[in-house]
Amino acid sequence: MNEQKTTATRSLLPEPTLRRLPWYLSYVGMLENKGVGTVSSTQISKELNVDASQIAKDLSFLNIKGKTRIGYDVPTLRRSLVEFLGFECSHNAVVIGSGSLGRALMQDAGLAQYGLSIVAGFDVNPAIVGTKVCGIPIYDISELKARLEKLHVGIAILSVPVEHSQRVADLAIASGIEAIWNFTPYRIKAPQHIALANTSIYAHLAIMYNRMSHGTK
């Protein structure tokens, strides 16, 4: 598939690995909270339904070694995962399109725990430009470039209506953004050097509805 190919050329770390590492982190974090000292890949495998050899392979990207018959030291593994995934650094982001979904993201305090700090919102609607959401100011989209420079922002979160997706993405790229987190269901195009993550949450609904119609009912 196209997505996979783009990903492969961009970095050596495979996307499936990057998707699994946060699962390990959430499990290991739970263990640490419970005061568990060590965990083996077999244990993680059982709990998360991922092949043990795959887990060992994924964790080999980190600078961490498990001990034979003992496994990984839980606090060390947790810290390594957090660092490796970039969740401990603060990444400044802006939300472009401060409608329903955009505002929801501004209100989600959970993002901060994963190193994302939303510092501003942008919109074209004069009724909301100048207002604040959870203390985050909403600016007019015409101010995008100037504000991005002042705020040291690398990430644009895209939550505009689908018909504006590509145009707004182009504008963000021209304004010097490094990464786009695309929440629109549109497949936007971006140059190779732009980090692009697609999170079309609505697409997951289609999968769920399909599975439901063939499940219990």
Nearest to 156 by CA among 141, 173, 140, 142: 173
Contacting a second copy (CB under 8 A), which of 146, 151, 174, 197?
A: 197
Query: Element (H or E) spanning 179, and its range?
Result: strand 179-182
Site string for a second copy, 17-46 (x = CB under 8 A): -xx-xxx-xxx-xx--x-------------
For 138-150, give one letter per residue: b (16+ CB within 10 A) or e.
bbebeebeebbee
Nearest to 121 by CA among 158, 167, 174: 158
63 binding a second copy? (CB under 8 A): no
53 binding a second copy? (CB under 8 A): no
Q: How far is the CB of 198 from a second copy (least distance, A)?
A: 8
Amino acid identity at 105: L
Q: How far is the CB of 4 from a second copy (least distance, A)?
A: 10
Q: Among residue numbers 115 through 154, which ones bind a second copy (CB under 8 A)? A: 115-116, 154
Nearer to a second copy, 30 or 146 (CB): 30
209 binding a second copy? (CB under 8 A): yes
Q: How far is the CB of 40 from a second copy (least distance, A)?
A: 17
Contacting a second copy (CB under 8 A), which of 36, 70, 104, 146?
A: 104
Nearest to 161 by CA among 93, 96, 206, 105: 96
Determine the interface stretch with a second copy among 62-70, 124-132, 139-147, 196-204 (rule: CB under 8 A).
Answer: 196-204
N-to-C CA span, the chain: 32
Whether 188 contacts 165, CB under 8 Å: yes
